[in-house]
Every structure is written in C-alpha cells, then in structure tokens.
Structure 1
Amino acid sequence: GSFLICRIVTPSKRTVAVQFGAEDSAGDVVMISLYNYPGTIGAKILALDTLFPLGTVLAIKEPTLKTSAAGGSGSVPHVRVDCPSDIIRLTSETPLASRTIWRTGERVPLAPEPPRTEESWKAIGNKYFQSDWFTSAAIAYSTGLTRAPSSQVLRLNRAMTYLKLGHAGAALSDCDHALAQKELPSSLRVKALYRRAQGLYGLGLWGEAEIAFEATASEFPSEAVSCKTWVEKCRKRRQETETGSYNWLEMYTASLSKARRLDVADYKGDIEVVGLPKRGGGRGVAVTKDVIAGQLLLVSKAFVSVFPDDYDPPEILLIQNLITMSVNYGCGASLGTKVAERIAGDPACARLVYDLYAGPTLPPPPSTYVLDRAPTTGAENYLEFDTPVDIARIEGVLSFNAFRPSGLPLPSEKESDHPSALFLLPSLFNHSCNPNAVWVCYGDVMVIRAMRDIPKGSEAFISYRPGDASFIKREENLRHYFDKCTCELCILDRADGEAACKRRETL
C-alpha cells in the first residue's frame, strides 16, 4: 500500500480531531486531521505539544485527502486519519526517516532537540508523568527503550504509566520482562514485583494477584503494610465474583461522587450466551437454572466509560454518526476514542469488542461469545501496532451497544451531559418492552436482576428503552435496533391498530 512520509511543522490544535500542519520532503504543507488517537480527548494544548512536537516525523498509511464536511469556498483540504494504527512515529534512526532528504532543511525551525540518552528520556518521561500526561510519558519511555533496550528503569517506569492508563496487561508484560533479567537490583525488583501484582489485579486475576502481593511482602517486609491492603482487596473481589455478595450501599454512595469508576469484581450468575439465529446479532442470554424474581444475574464493569466531569474544564463535543444518521453529543462523541485507546494499550482485549454485534452492514459476529482474554503480550513501543485498530468495527459496535450508565436523570440534565459506556456481556441481552430482567448502573458498574421468575432455558430480556412510553414513541426509539419489536407488549399494541395508538399518544 501507499504511505506519506511527513513531519510536523505547526503547533497542534484540537476539537474532536487533533490538527496540525505537516510537510512532505518536497516542502509541500497539508493539514493533518487525526481522529481517535489515544490521549487526545480532553488534552490541553501543552499536552498536545508533548504528543505531537514540532519536527516529529510520521508515516501515514493509505493517506486520504478530504475537504471539510461543511464545504464552501473556505474549505481547506486535509489528510484525515481515523485509525490510530495508521500513524507510525519515525525516529532519526528509522531507515525511512534517515533516508528522507527535506527540501526545507534538516530541522524544523523552533523544533526541540530530541533527547539522546537513557537519562534524558527518563527525565522527560518523569516530567510528563508528574503532569498526568500519561500517554506522552509512555511514548517517552518507549522511545528511550529503543535507544537503551536493556534499561529496566525505563521499562518499570513505563509499567507504572501503563497502570495509570488502565493498560494492566501491558504493565504485567513489562514487569515480567524486567523480572526475567539476571541480577536485577533489589530497588528495581521490589518495584517490578509490586507493579506486577497490581497488573494482575487490574486484569481481574484476583487469586494470582493475592499470591503475588503476599510474595512481595514476604521478600520485602518494607512493603508489608501496603501489600496487606491489596491482599484484603483481592479477597473481597474474589468473594464478589464467586458469590455475588456486594456492599450495595457503598456502591450506590460511590456512584453519587466523582469517583464513578468503582473497584468491584464482575459476577456472572445462572446465565449463558446462546445462539439465536433469528435475533439481531444471532445471540441472546438464557438462564441455566430456574431463576426467581429479584435474583442477581450479572454484575459487569464497563469496558470503557466516559462521564461529563472526566474533563476539566468540561467539553461539549459532537460528531456525525453516519451509521445511525444522528449526532453523538458529549460523552458519546469521545467513547470511540476511549475504546481505541484501550485496545491500543492492551491488544489482547480487542476480540472482546470486535465479537459484539456491529450492525447489518458489517460482518456478523460469531454465534458464541467468550469473555476470556487472549494471552497478554506487551508492545515493545507504545502505540506501535502489530494489528490494525478496526475503527469501523468499533463505531458499529458502539452504535448498537453503547449504554448510558446513569441512575434516574434529573430534569435539568442536557442531552450532551449524559455519560456513555460500553459493557461487554450486557450487550448480549436482547430487548423487550416488557422485560423479565432489569438493569441499573452504579457509576461504571451495571447490575442486572430478574424482574420475575424465569424458567430454566428461557431467554432473559432487558429493555433498551423505557416500556412505559407509548407504542408510537417506543417504535420510533427502537427503529435504530430493528424494524419491528416483537415483544408481547408491542404485539398487543399493534393489534389495537394505529389509530388507537395515536389517540393514546394525545392523552
């Protein structure tokens, strides 16, 4: 395929996309519009300057020149990049970059001199880390590792950064790499052991994490107090996932605060994913035993979530969704970038997203769904992709599966202020306007319970839209998901005739 070699020659700006001017080797300048790039949603200008500094050399795969959707005489052509894996950062040692002769000179005016040593990359990575610019810090540590691949200091600093970014699998991989080295100093070994245990915890491997924290405390008694706290958390998470026993009041209270990402384990009750060829997506969720009303069926942490107060100052973004032919506001506009960001840092989890239903225009998902992850492997360089990020699939999945993880909304809430999240197993539940199960969210945690007794082998349904709405409103709201709802309530309403339903609408 084709690619464009270019280098950044202007500072960056951001709305939904990050934009900057870039020149090719002949000195021709074009605007680059980069969408869905990790670390850019909510990023301040100073942070963008660290992500895309002047003089950075990029290779853009299959570049596409476009004009603004608004059109008009003022429309400026730009290269639009939707997929973060279509961008490759090149260093001066990269053959493609070293062979390029720039007509305008070897260096871009005002471009910073890139660090050359392990210590300088460590210093700049630490500076970004302390500023909470974790994506920039991970890139800095990764670039330093290309020059000093045996530096376990850089590797363990990157592991800590990965933990901050939520990339537990990548952190675990870096720690395992460090621990495999002979004669690792004790000052680094304790960090590797402790962060490895945190990585296991982040992956939901509660039993392995508990053992790892206990081993760390045994080898390094100075860490005993902090490890004990983590061990207690591991045991609590194991109890939750094995028994479905939660502190519901604590979860509810936490969901009312800004700490909306709760530290709880997933729980799967007496349910299983079954093949249902006549359903959209070809699957559904059935109960494996007789279930009584009120019984807990599922507790699920969001794969990713976005809340209005995640960004300071608050931002109202909007993008055109060409799948639903509607506008995604606020949190919904940035959810796709968050999914791409997680997959970029933890490629092993990509299948969990790609195996969800993504609409009728994309290939159907498999007839089964397994929550087990692929084996964890870390990228040697952050944001260098062995497998492309499938943005089209992500957008399709979100168009049909995104939830609004909020409790009862206040009347004053604006549409753009609603949080948005992707839940994995809850996305497999099919809809009924008269459901036998109900869902509610505490922060980024969804809880699904049976509303009434459900016989063994029967399908469990939830409602995508409130069933107390009129038939006309329900049909309008559900048209995005399927042509006609076939639940019992809609069949009865439809039998009453269109005229009767319209009269009810006016009551």
Structure 2
Amino acid sequence: MTSVNTTVFLTPEEDAHVRNTLKGRLQKCQKLAGQPREPGDPIARLQQVTGASLMADMNFAAELGLEAPKRQRDAMVAFAVGHPYPPCIASIEDLQPMELSELRMDTHHRGRVLTVRRKAPVVQLQASSWTVVHARSSEETERLEILLHKLTHGQDILESGSMFKIKEPYFTLNEQDEPTLRIDHPSDLVLCSNGEELGDSKDGDSATASTDLARKTAKEWKEEGNAALKQQDLPLAHANYTQGLQLLTKNDTGKEELTYDLFRNRAHVNLILNRFDEAKTDALASLTGLEDQKAKDLDSKAYFRAGYAAYNLGEFQEAKGFFEDQQRLMPDHKDAAAYLRRAELRLKEQATAVYNFKKIKAGLSPGRPRVDAASFARNVKIGESTGRGRGLFATHDIGSGEIVLCEKAFCVVWGHEKEALTAMTYDGRDDKIRVIPAGLCRAIVQKLLDNPSQVEKVMDLYGDYRGLGKQLIVRDSSPVIDTFQVHDIVSRNAFGPGPMHSSRREAEEDESNASAGLWVMAAYINHSCIPNAEKECVGDLMILRATRRIRAGEEITHSYDASSDYDARSAALMNTWGFTCDCALCVAEKADGPGLRKKRLQLESEANALVERNAPVGAKMLAVAKGRRLIRSINETYNDERYKGLPRTALDRIQKWLAEATAR
C-alpha cells in the first residue's frame, strides 16, 4: 500500500557496513548448516551475559544488531529478513524431547522440544533480549535470544519465568557470530508453569513447594489472584485465576459460585490487558441467571464487561445488546448507560458516515491520539483487480468530495509512544535495505496473540511471504502467529498517519521512531499516479474522499507516492512495494526520456524555491512575472499530444501560488 513517512539516507560506507554484516551472517549460516554444536565455555558465557546485562542497564548499546540506546536520535536498529521460517504448529505433547548436545548449526529441529532453565540475568536491548540457559540433565549452557517480539504486556518474556520449553528449536549464529538458540515466533517459546518448574527440580525444598502448590484450593488461587491484581501484577493475577478454574474443572463438586467469581475476575484482568476475546468469553461464563439481588448485581457487572469487550472489538451491535441487558438489571449504572449511547452512535456512523469531525479533532492530544469512532465501509467492497491482485471497488456512484471510506485503524503506534521503533532491514530475497516500522509489527503481533478473532482479517492481507495463510491455529492454549508474515504484511500495507499538529509529537518523533499504522480495508486500495481518491487521517481515523465522480463498480485508487519526479517515484514504488506503475502518466513521463525529465525537475525546483521565498499575498510584480515565465518553461517540457487529459504535476505548486498572488 503506502509507506510510513520516513526517509533514511545512508552513506556508501554505512550501506556497505549494514549490508556486509547482515548479509555476511546469512552466508556463514549457510556454510555451517548441519554441523554439530560445539559446547563452549560455560564460565565465560556467564561472565559475558553478566557484563552485557550491566552495560544494558547503563543504557549502552551493543555495537551490532545494530542496537542503540533508547530514543537516541539518528540511531537505528538493523536486522536481516528474507529467510523466513514458519512457527511450530505442533502441540508440546506431540514433540520429542531433545538435549543441548543434539543441536546442529543453522538447523530447525522439527518435531523436537528442548526444555531449558534460565541461569543468568536477561540482557534487554531495543529489538532483542538474550540470556544463558542450561539443560535439565546437565550444567551445559547455551545462549537464548528472542528477536523483536520479546515483550508481552510490557514484561520481558525471558524475565517472566525461569524454565522454558522451546518448540522445534532453531540453532544458528547471531550478528556477532555467536551460536544461539533463536526465537522469532512467540508461540515457539512456552513458559513452564510453577508446578512444572518446581516439579522438575530434584531439590528437596522445591519438591515440598511443588506439593504445597498442588494442595492449594481454588479459593486460595482466587485470593492470590486478587492480591496480584491489587499489586497490578496482571499476568500473575490472570495465571492464578486460571489455576483456580483449572482446579475446579478437574474436581467438579458443584462450586458454581466460586467458578463464577473466577471467570468474572479474570474477565476484569483481561480487559485491562486488552485481551477482549477472552474477556468477553469469561464475562459471559460468569453469568449466573439467578433472580436474587446479589446475583443480579454480579450479572450486571458481567454484562458490562462483556459489552466493553465487544465495543473494543468493534462489535457495536453485540455491545449494544450487552449494555441493554445490563441496564435491565441495574438501570442506574451511569457508565453502562453512557456506553450504550456510544454504541448507538457508532452504529449510526457505520450506517450513514455521519461523523462529528469537529468534536473528534478537538478531542485529540498526544495523550489521546486514538479516536472513538466506527468504520464506514458501505460504499466499497473487495474484489479482483486485473493484474493487481485484490482491490477496493465502489458499490454505487460516489460524488466528488464525498466519503468513500472512513476507517478506524486496526493498530497505530505513534512516534511519541514508548512502543515506537523504526528499523532497517536487509532483505536477502532481493538484496535491498529498507526501513520498516518494527514497533508496529510488534504491536500487531501482540494484538493478534491477545485477540485471535482478529487474525483472519489481518493475515489475509497481501505480503510477499504467505506463511501460515489466514487460518487461525491455536496450540498449547495460544494462537500461533507467524511474525515473518506480519513483517511482510506491514511492509506492504502500513501507512504513516500524518501529523497530529502537536509540537510535543514533532519534538519526540524522528526517523528512528516514526508513527505508523495499519488500516485493513484501506490496505486493499491499489496505487494510481492519477488517483480518484485521497486520504487524510484524524488521529487513527482515516478518511478517504473522492477527488472526482466515481462510478459504481469502478476501482478506488490513491497515490502511494505523489512525487512529481518520475524517476524518484518509480524507484520508490519498486523498492517499497515491488511493482512498476504502468498508468498513462507513467507511460507518458517514461517516453519523455531522462534528459527532458531532468530539465523539467530543475525548472520545478526553481519554481518551488520561488514559492518558498515569496508569500502569495503581497507578492512583488517581479516575482509574479518570474512565476509566469517558469510556468511557460515547464509547460514547454510537456508534449501536448502525449499529455492530453493527463495532469502536469510539476506545475501544481507554482500554479496554485500564482493564482493566489494574482487573485485581486
């Protein structure tokens, strides 16, 4: 689709450094593939991770991955892509155990599972985390790294526990030529529960502790969950409530009230964690249906939580129903009444495209950059576009200036938010270095892990690597998300949302942390240098308007790159989106030849300099005369017959300026 508004210029030396380092690792891995693992020195490895952890805590950068101190302007992470591999889609019980000694270099050990225990502190870098682990059966150690997708709800995955199961482990070299167990897909690393972890130990105290855990009642798990919630340890609260529910499921002795409490409490935690799928399921599972007042009050709370979850999933009709059920049980609940009104307003927006844009814009701020609004998509449908894959088509006639599509983003990461991260990638598939919104990739993966109901619509978008396709796969109670597939989808479909007109945002955003977002319906819109629609963003709400009358059945297009420079535009379309535009304008400009295009570009640059130096209001006659001469000169570079009916884009700025300068 269209790119994030980020341009990074590399000197030839910088380009060669990044390319040689990342490309070199891939070449070394290919040579070492299949060779047996060499154990290494455990003491030296522990000394290395301890020292690196201290340096990371002091906010020093690792020299290459190319890690940089957080928020350092002009510094950017770099890593290699282009050799994607699928995540494991088998359950742990279907995998055969293996030991560290069986690892082979640059090998995906399919059908195997490796259990390891963390032995050292975790080194946290911008785009990765690593530590040292050892096998259960020996003190042999190895390096374990998580690339990019290293956090879950703000917590480093490697710090969330001490024992892990690695599904189909991938053993390879990192950018420092060090052997490592590499994790790219979060579902390939499974955190062992407390019971598993302690049960594996031969230590007497640990065995006793494991027995104590097994003796806990569901009520005690609930109380520990409540205590963790009070301390804002949400993952632990969720785990404790889950343990209680699992215990009640195994020993079903009619403890319905406790079951309802656990489901209701876990629904609350899930809402805070933005896990709206499970929050809705838990809230509905907590409904008692009883008629006494206490039960009605609790069911009212459950309906509100289900409605809030559905609302945040964009399921406004369902949310409206839940809020109405809540109101019947507790009519005086003000929050539920307010959300019921909001759900009704969202349904109206979906049906009519009537938005209060003035109010929406007034409510935007760096602290609240996301809009509370519904998507309007009744004017368009997805269809096949000849030679272009899928596209978006008008369902009926749309007048010039009318809304074609108004879409709430699936996910946006703003430059001033801590999740923002722009990275350089070397793609081994075409030997190119690109800039991608890595922070957006991470946020989308997390959102899909939290809300599996959203997987199909996102993973159905176009990407060079199809991975697992759009099918939702759940293994070991967790969705399986192919992070390489998400990377390619983001690379081809992400938008820069544009400025929020905030001085704070402009001060905090640069090329290392540019804002970026994914709008699913808008991602289907194909490019044209002569588009029939143009977009603008209000917060994370994208508004697409027709620039001329669009007939029913006509494909909707907008410009991915609006540069008037044919050569720059063509290079951007190929490098970023992988295609050559063959629209009528590109055909005409290509026929001009490089000499004429260069002359036109020089004249346009001169015209733009005139515009920038002279305000149109009160412009001097000398400037106006020069503007007219430049327009004539630029026009002379266009062949009248070849450009009949086509825009002369090099004239856009100077003609607009001249019209304003001579308006009186």
TM-score, normalised to structure 1, is 0.82
- 1:181 deviates by 8.0
Amino acid at match of 1:439: K
Contact 2:400 2:548 in 1 (8 A): yes
Give the fraction of aligned pairs with identical amino acids, expressed as a percent: 24
Asked if residue 30 in structure 1 is aligned to residue 142 in structure 2, the reply is: yes
1:253 aligned residue (354, 358, 362): 362
Greater Cα shift, 435-444 or 405-414 = 405-414
1:175 aligned residue (273, 276, 283): 283
Q: Distance in 2 between matches of 1:490 and 1:105?
A: 76
- 1:86 deviates by 1.1
Structure 1 residues 105 and 308: alpha-carbon distance in aligned structure 2, compared to 1, 3 A threshold: farther
Structure 1 residues 64 and 180: alpha-carbon distance in aligned structure 2, compared to 1, 3 A threshold: farther
SS of the equivalent of 2:397 reads coil
- 1:4 deviates by 0.7
Match of 1:58 in 2: 164
Q: Distance in 2 between matches of 1:463 and 1:136?
A: 47
Amino acid at match of 1:426: A
- 1:461 deviates by 0.3
Asked if residue 400 in structure 1 is aligned to residue 492 in structure 2, the reply is: yes
Q: Distance in 1 between matches of 2:213 and 2:122?
A: 18
SS of the equivalent of 2:191 reads strand
Greater Cα shift, 300-309 or 143-152 = 143-152
2:572 aligned residue (477, 480, 484): 477
Structure 1 residues 315 and 82: alpha-carbon distance in aligned structure 2, compared to 1, 3 A threshold: same
Contact 2:398 2:552 in 1 (8 A): yes
Contact 2:385 2:391 in 1 (8 A): yes
Match of 1:153 in 2: 261
SS of the equivalent of 2:383 reads strand
Match of 1:141 in 2: 241
Match of 1:82 in 2: 184
Alignment of 1:12-411 (within 5 A): 12-15=122-125, 16-25=127-136, 26-35=138-147, 37=149, 39-40=151-152, 43=154, 47-48=155-156, 52-55=159-162, 57-71=163-177, 75=178, 77-91=179-193, 93-94=195-196, 100=200, 116=216, 118=218, 121-122=221-222, 125-126=225-226, 129=229, 134-135=234-235, 137-149=237-249, 151-179=259-287, 185-186=295-296, 188-223=298-333, 225-279=334-388, 282-311=389-418, 318=423, 320=425, 322=427, 325-328=432-435, 332-359=437-464, 361-362=465-466, 384-385=476-477, 387-407=479-499
Q: Distance in 2 between matches of 1:201 and 1:463?
A: 33
Q: CA RMSD in A?
A: 3.4
Q: How far does the alpha carbon of each residue in 1:74-128 deviate from its partner, in whole angstroms, 9 at most, with x for none?
A: x4x221111111122223555xx687466x88859xx9x9795546654554565
Q: Distance in 1 between matches of 2:407 and 2:112?
A: 42
Contact 2:288 2:299 in 1 (8 A): no
Q: How far does the alpha carbon of each residue in 1:414-448 deviate from its partner, in whole angstroms, 9 at most, with x for none?
A: 22232111111100000112211011111221111
Amino acid at match of 2:122: S
Alignment of 1:407-418 (within 5 A): 407=499, 414-418=510-514
Amino acid at match of 1:407: P
SS of the equivalent of 1:403 reads coil
Q: Distance in 2 between matches of 1:286 and 1:407?
A: 28
SS of the equivalent of 2:536 reads strand
Q: Distance in 2 between matches of 1:205 and 1:27?
A: 52
1:439 aligned residue (535, 543, 547): 535
- 1:496 deviates by 0.9
Q: Distance in 1 between matches of 2:512 and 2:363?
A: 23
Amino acid at match of 2:301: K
Q: Distance in 1 between matches of 2:240 and 2:597?
A: 62
Contact 1:172 1:195 in 2 (8 A): yes
Structure 1 residues 357 and 151: alpha-carbon distance in aligned structure 2, compared to 1, 3 A threshold: same
- 1:53 deviates by 4.1
Match of 2:595 in 1: 499
Structure 1 residues 309 and 135: alpha-carbon distance in aligned structure 2, compared to 1, 3 A threshold: farther
Unaligned runs of 5+ in 1: 367-372
1:423 aligned residue (504, 507, 519): 519
Structure 1 residues 408 and 340: alpha-carbon distance in aligned structure 2, compared to 1, 3 A threshold: closer
- 1:498 deviates by 2.0
Q: Distance in 1 between matches of 2:226 and 2:540?
A: 30
Amino acid at match of 1:261: R
Q: How far does the alpha carbon of each residue in 1:195-231 deviate from its partner, in whole angstroms, 9 at most, with x for none?
A: 01212222323233223212212212452x2221111
- 1:158 deviates by 2.1
Amino acid at match of 2:417: D
Greater Cα shift, 123-132 or 475-484 = 123-132
Structure number having the greater helix percentage: 2
Contact 2:412 2:517 in 1 (8 A): yes
- 1:319 deviates by 5.4
Amino acid at match of 1:477: A
- 1:389 deviates by 1.3
Amino acid at match of 1:91: S
Q: Distance in 1 between matches of 2:205 and 2:597?
A: 72
TM-score, normalised to structure 2, is 0.64
SS of the equivalent of 2:552 reads coil
Structure 1 residues 321 and 222: alpha-carbon distance in aligned structure 2, compared to 1, 3 A threshold: farther
- 1:365 deviates by 7.4
Q: Distance in 2 between matches of 1:80 and 1:388?
A: 17
SS of the equivalent of 1:66 reads strand
Structure 1 residues 384 and 11: alpha-carbon distance in aligned structure 2, compared to 1, 3 A threshold: farther
Amino acid at match of 1:338: A
Contact 2:449 2:478 in 1 (8 A): no
